[in-house]
Amino acid sequence: MFGVNWRTSPRQYDVLVERHVRIVMDDGVELDAQVYRPDSDGQFPGLLGVHAYDAAMQTAHSHPRAMNLANAQAEAGDPYFYARRGYVHVIVNARGTGASGGSYSHYGPRDVDDIVAVIEWMAAQPWCTGGVGMFGVSYFAVAAKQVAARNPEPLKAVFAPFGYTDFYRDKFYHGGILARNFVTSWTKQLANVQVEGWSKKALGEEEYARRLEQLRALGVVPSSVARARLVVVDSWLLRQQDRHPRT
């Protein structure tokens, strides 16, 4: 594979693009999806990718270069490439990000429920054969591995490289040391993230704002760190509170 004689498969179809398709979850929250499918009346296998970033960035055309920033940021590849070759590529913003409704929970159980529901929605569409695969790197890969553990019937394949399975070791505390630069820079890439913060819920809106401004004024908590805590730590703490309520 990838020898001097290797070639990609030929293009077979024009591409029909449906932007901002709303997929309704069982609690009424709507997820925002970009659908790229062959411009044909036939049925095709589906490919799904779920992310928390800017939808336009994740669905942009890949540039014909060996490596550049735009290509690197599109973690599920060029959807036009796959649609031209007989696949329906669906790119979905996770709950609480981009134009999707609800609150972001950073790979929480609700996110997995949502993805299973999207897979079942795809399998039931008239353009789908009933089979769905998931692929993509990094965020896409982590989400795919979580869903694979549920083993929904329409999910036929997963290709998920560069996706960690140990959040503590591989994402937040490399070698036991907080990966502050990564966490703060990564949270800046999240699109329109909506988080129901544990600290804010415990303190109340007014007291939370007062304490945060006080810490910023003292230079103790830079804005980027405060945002990272809200997105990553508070969403996790809120889940633990729901799972183990105080009596």
pLDDT on residue 225: 53
Q: What average pLDDT score do residues 44-53 get?
A: 96
Q: Using one digit for the tens of pLDDT, what is the confidence trace for 190-225?
A: 888 887 766 677 778 888 788 778 767 766 555 555
Q: Ramachandran region of residue 236, left (φ > 0), alpha (ψ -120 to 50) or beta?
A: alpha
Instruction: Write out pLDDT tens, residues 166-186.
Output: 878 888 788 888 787 887 777
Amino acid identity of residue 63, one-letter, is: H
- Quick one: CATH architecture of 15-159? 3-Layer(aba) Sandwich (3.40)
Ranges for all domains in the chain classified under CATH 3.40.50.1820:
15-159
Quick one: pLDDT band at residue 50, thresholds 50, 70, 90?
A: very high
The string of pLDDT tens digits covering residues 69-115 is 555 567 888 899 999 999 999 999 999 999 999 999 888 889 999 99
Mean pLDDT of the residues in the chain: 83
How far apart, in whole angstroms, are the C-alpha atoms of residue 88 and residue 132? Answer: 9
Alpha-carbon span 217 to 209, nearest angstrom: 12
Paired tokens of 89: 């590529």
pLDDT of residue 237: 47
Lowest average pLDDT, out of 50-64, 127-141, 148-162, 208-222, goes to 208-222
Which of 129, 159, 126 has the alpha carbon at shortest distance from 145? Answer: 159
For residue 202, the tally of other CB atoms under 10 A from its CB is 13
CA 19, CA 24: separation in Å to the nearest integer?
15
CA distance 77 to 174: 28
Phi, psi of 88 (to 5 degrees): -95, 115
The pLDDT of residue 233 is above 80: no
